Amino acid sequence: MYLAHSFMSDKKRQKHQQPLILAVENHDDSLLLMSYTLDLLGYRSICQKESSKTVFVAKEYQPDLILLNIFLPGMSGLDVIQLLKGDSLTCHIPVVAMTVLAGSEDQKLILNAGFDDYISKPYMIEELEAIIHRLLDRKFDLCPVLEV
């Protein structure tokens, strides 16, 4: 997959504006891994640790998708989703919960809180990519994944 992305011509990259994804994670290692993963998948990204700035950043940059950890210091992801979905400037942005919670009751709580989807940690990059494609395929002409 990395090779296919690397050999994509600059002209082809410029033709399709890549989606912007806001990732909110509380651990430096997880944030670095997320940044690397999104870059590898060909997305532009904004990565941040502070949940309290998420709504401001979402309003300012209007990302196409938000990946939001549930367990954040200060405001939890459940608090942040309420603010995002309650604001006319951000309510249209799909938000994916990133969580260690994997039970069916947890899933129900997350989806009822307003998240568009969720992914349980640890996750495979292919799972994350599939969720991103599914949520953004209406907005962008995303290229199919090339197996290498």
- Model-level pTM? 0.81
Helix and strand counts by DSSP (H, E) for the chain: 7, 5
**H or E stretch covering 90:** none
Q: How far apart are CA 101 and CA 90, in angstroms?
A: 25
pLDDT digits (tens, 9 = 90+) for 71-123: 888 899 999 999 999 999 999 999 999 988 777 888 898 999 999 999 998 88
- pLDDT at residue 60 greater than cutoff 70: yes
For residue range 9-54, what is the model confidence (pLDDT) as tens digits?
A: 444 444 457 999 999 998 899 899 999 999 999 999 999 998 889 9
